[in-house]
């Protein structure tokens, strides 16, 4: 147990990546402060402490030391980077920080960039959830796994790709930048529940497979203290399943309480409008301003959250 906890390894590539991410985030916080917007300290703690700290644990702790000898260590790394760490980043809201820190001209270019078809497609929750499953299945059941185990550069690239794929789901679900207005809190809850179901697939497949993965690599390097490699695969799949489902509940709770808080604010605003003084309303017999007819629209349109729906309408062709 002491060896498993105390054996850390230094990864220069991931250290540079973490330093760049931390510097960029802190620069954004400083710029936002100069523009008069104080960035919440708890968001910074979530991004820098929970997010980047978790990446350091995944890529330089004993998990990285033993991922070449037992499959379950690598499986835990992949699951943490694709499921749990992105939620920590999303709580830190880096995209919201970018919006606060940018100048008006740069903000226009930023909105144009993140509103592109490719970004909108990849960050749609259903697409991102399926993509995460495909990436994990491809990694464990193709020649990529053997390549990653034989190359340090491939391992580092795998870390970055897996983390990026996880962020494609977490950042839109918990942010306000990437999803259209009709994707409201109830729909986000539904997508999070769908992701929880899909996340179970890679773990189940790894746990139930009978063949040795990575071309028998772990059979040749299995340490004396380890159990049978096939049993290690079953353990790896079970850990993937457990860890991927562990993050589902916090994600659902965050979305649920955020939805409840939003509804509370809406109710308070409605009560304030209803209790407005009589002088603010037109007196009896006086003409009132004509109002537009109220159309019956579905709740997912009338309760839009985030950006305006019309920003995501397809462009009309010029005549």
Distance of alpha carbon 87 from alpha carbon 47, whole angstroms: 9
- Domain locations along the chain: 2-102+131-223+234-261
Burial label, 1 (beta-carbon count in 10 A; 0-12, 13-18, 19+): exposed
pLDDT in tens, 222-268: 666 666 777 888 888 999 999 888 877 777 788 887 777 777 777 66
Q: Are 97 and 25 in contact (CB under 8 A)?
A: yes
- 147 or 214, higher pLDDT: 147
- 3-class secondary structure, 244: helix
Inform me whether the pLDDT recorded for 294 exceeds 60.
no
The pLDDT value recorded for residue 276 is 59
Residues 115-120 have a mean pLDDT of 87
0.85 exceeded by pTM: no
Give the residue-averaged pLDDT of 14-26: 96
State yes or no: pLDDT of 2 exceeds 90.
no
Q: Are residues 62 and 3 in contact, defined by beta-carbon separation less than 8 angstroms?
A: yes
Indicate the pLDDT class of residue 67, thresholds 50, 70 and 90. confident
Mean of per-residue pLDDT scores for the chain: 81
pLDDT of residue 306: 43
| pLDDT value of residue 305 | 41
Percent helix / strand / coil, the chain, rounded to 5: 75, 0, 25
Mean pLDDT of 70-96: 91
pLDDT band (50, 70, 90) for residue 280: low
pLDDT surpasses 60 at 295: no
**Residue 185 and residue 257 in contact, taking contact as beta carbons nearer than 8 Å:** no
Long-range contacts of 154-158 (CB under 8 A, 24+ apart): 155/67, 156/11, 156/13, 156/14, 156/59, 158/78
Query: With contact defined as beta carbons under 8 Å apart, do 219 and 229 qualify?
Result: yes
Using a pLDDT cut of 70, give the percent of the chain over it.
Answer: 80
Q: What percent of the chain has pLDDT over 90?
A: 34
Q: What is the pLDDT of residues 40-50, one digit of tens each?
A: 999 999 999 99
Environment class of 212 (CB within 10 Å of its CB; exposed 0-12, middle 13-18, buried 19+): middle
Q: How many of the other CB atoms lie within 10 Å of CB of 247?
A: 24
Q: Band of the pLDDT at 300, cuts 50, 70, 90? A: very low
Q: How far apart are CA 257 and CA 187, in angstroms?
A: 14
Phi, psi at residue 269, to the nearest 5°?
Answer: -65, -40
In Å, how far are 1, 121, 165, 228, 319 from 232, measured between CA atoms?
A: 17, 37, 26, 6, 64
Q: Cβ(78)–Cβ(199) under 8 Å?
A: no
Whether the per-residue pLDDT at 281 is higher than 70: the answer is no
Structure tokens given for 222: 């299995």
Average pLDDT of 66-95?
Answer: 91
What six digits make up the tokens of 3?
């060896």
Is residue 21 predicted with pLDDT exceeding 90? yes
Q: What is the pLDDT of residues 192-217, one digit of tens each?
A: 888 888 889 999 999 888 787 877 77
| Structure token pair of residue 37 | 């917007």
């Amino acid at each position: 147990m002491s060896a498993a906890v105390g054996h850390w390894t230094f990864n220069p590539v991931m250290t540079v990546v973490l330093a760049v991410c931390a510097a960029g985030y802190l620069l954004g916080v400083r710029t936002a402060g100069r523009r008069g917007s104080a960035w919440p300290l708890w968001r910074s703690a979530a991004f820098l402490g929970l997010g980047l700290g978790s990446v350091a644990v995944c890529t330089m702790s004993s998990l990285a030391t033993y991922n070449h000898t037992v499959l379950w260590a690598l499986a835990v790394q992949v699951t943490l980077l694709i499921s749990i760490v992105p939620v920590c980043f999303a709580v830190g809201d880096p995209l919201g920080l970018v919006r606060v820190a940018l100048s008006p001209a740069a903000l226009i270019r930023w909105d144009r960039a993140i509103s592109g078809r490719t970004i909108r497609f990849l960050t749609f929750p259903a697409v991102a959830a399926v993509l995460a499953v495909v990436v994990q299945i491809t990694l464990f059941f193709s020649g990529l796994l053997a390549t990653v185990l034989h190359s340090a550069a491939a391992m580092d690239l795998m870390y970055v790709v897996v983390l990026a794929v996880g962020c494609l789901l977490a950042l839109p679900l918990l942010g306000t930048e990437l999803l259209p207005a009709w994707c409201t809190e109830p729909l986000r809850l539904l997508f999070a529940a769908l992701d929880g179901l899909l996340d179970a697939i890679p773990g189940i497949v790894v746990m139930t497979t009978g063949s040795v993965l990575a071309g028998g690599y772990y059979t040749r390097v299995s340490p004396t203290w380890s159990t049978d490699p096939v049993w290690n695969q079953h353990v790896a799949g079970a850990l993937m399943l457990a860890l991927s489902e562990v993050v589902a509940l916090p994600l659902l709770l965050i979305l649920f309480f955020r939805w409840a808080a939003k509804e509370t604010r809406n109710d308070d605003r409605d009560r304030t409008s209803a209790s407005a003084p009589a002088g603010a309303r037109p007196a009896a017999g006086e003409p009132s301003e004509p109002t537009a007819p109220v159309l019956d629209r579905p709740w997912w349109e009338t309760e839009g959250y985030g950006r305006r729906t019309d920003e995501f309408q397809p462009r009309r062709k010029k005549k």
